[in-house]
Structure 1
Amino acid sequence: MQRACLEDIPNLVKMMEMFYAESNFRLDTAAAAAAFRNLLDNESWGDVWRIDDNHQTAGYAVTTYRFAMEFGGSIACIDDLYVMPTFRNRGLGRMAVHEIREHCTRNGFRGLCVEVDRDNQAAMNIYRAIGLVPQAGRRMLALPLSKALHQGEFNSPPAAN
């Protein structure tokens, strides 16, 4: 796994489009490209990682950074983690999360968090394997203050096919 660069944006957008399609969301690809560009241009906001397998791009991960009073310092949040279907079941997702955890430890982050769809057991297994656990008594609440990059309800299940 390595940090992505500006030249990776077209492939990152394609993978993000595939990732969102799995939840029946259509991605605004121009807005996604701009979001990747913004994040890559502002390292203090987070990192974009390219997941490789035998010199082939297999997926991507995005971590974003923020200050958390609870920890008295910076924490990292895994915002996106996607492995393309042809590369799944090879341990790449677990490897990526492990490397993100190691990066955070080396760089003084005091916590690592992730938001997981309640029905995504595969993702839960990956995150639990490196030590992320549900936080007792907590729920995530959100209020979109701008349009999402995808077309779909913010907090509703995917449409039936």
Structure 2
Amino acid sequence: MQISFTTYTDNDKTEVLEMMASFNKMEGYAFDPMGRQKNLLEFTSNGSLGRLYVMKLHQQIIGYLVLAFGFSFEYNGRDAFIDEFYIKPTYRNKGIGALTLDFIASESKKLGIQALHLEVEPHNVHANKLYLSKGYRSNDRKLLTRKI
């Protein structure tokens, strides 16, 4: 399977927003279409915030990944958070997730990223297994969040 990875463009907007809605519905997260559209514009128009990558098979969009930049003294510089990672259901469990994580590791190295972080729902057995197989490890901490 020949998967290509491209940086998001405005031509991808409709499909990416549809996939974002599907991702949030699948996980039971709240989804505000107008707020998401605003965030998408802000994020993709400011390269210092991160990158949004689109996965394609034969020029057809099959998934996306949001890589949000940060900085960590603990990890000696720039780090990044895989904020969202979605593959359309038809294309899951075919090795595309593994290819995508390899691509992101390679791209992150080029971007000077020292560490990659991600969250995974405990119930997502396939994703947990994939992430562990690609070298992601629990740091035995809990991610705590406060909305401001």
**Runs (5+) with no aligned partner, structure 1:** 146-161
Whether 1:142 aligns to 2:145 is yes
Q: State the match for 1:11 in structure 2.
A: 15
1:26, distance to aligned residue in structure 2 (A): 4.7
One-letter identity of the residue aligned with 2:144: L
Deviations 1:46-104 (A, max 9, x none): 10010112221101100000010102200011000000111112111111111111111
Provide the secondary structure at the position in 2 that maps to 1:10. Answer: helix
Contact 1:10/1:33 (<8 A) preserved: no
TM-score normalised by the chain length of structure 2? 0.91
| In 2, Cα distance between equivalents of 1:126 and 1:32 | 27
Q: State the match for 1:128 in structure 2.
A: 132
1:18, distance to aligned residue in structure 2 (A): 0.8
Provide the secondary structure at the position in 2 that maps to 1:20. Answer: helix
**RMSD of the TM alignment (CA)?**
1.2
Whether 1:31 aligns to 2:31 is no
**Runs (5+) with no aligned partner, structure 2:** none
Deviations 1:8-64 (A, max 9, x none): 121111000011111234521111111111111011111001011222110110000
Provide the secondary structure at the position in 2 that maps to 1:27. Answer: coil
Provide the secondary structure at the position in 2 that maps to 1:39. Answer: helix
One-letter identity of the residue aligned with 2:117: C
Question: What is the number of residues matched between the two proteins?
Answer: 144
Contact 1:75/1:112 (<8 A) preserved: yes
| In 2, Cα distance between equivalents of 1:63 and 1:49 | 8
One-letter identity of the residue aligned with 1:7: N
| In 1, Cα distance between equivalents of 2:88 and 2:75 | 34
Q: State the match for 1:47 in structure 2.
A: 51
| In 2, Cα distance between equivalents of 1:29 and 1:61 | 18
| In 2, Cα distance between equivalents of 1:110 and 1:23 | 29
One-letter identity of the residue aligned with 1:48: L
Q: State the match for 2:90 in structure 1.
A: 86
| In 1, Cα distance between equivalents of 2:15 and 2:30 | 16
Provide the secondary structure at the position in 2 that maps to 1:18. Answer: helix
One-letter identity of the residue aligned with 1:107: L
Which 4+ residue blocks in structure 1 deviate beyond 2 angstroms?
23-26
1:107, distance to aligned residue in structure 2 (A): 2.0
One-letter identity of the residue aligned with 1:54: H
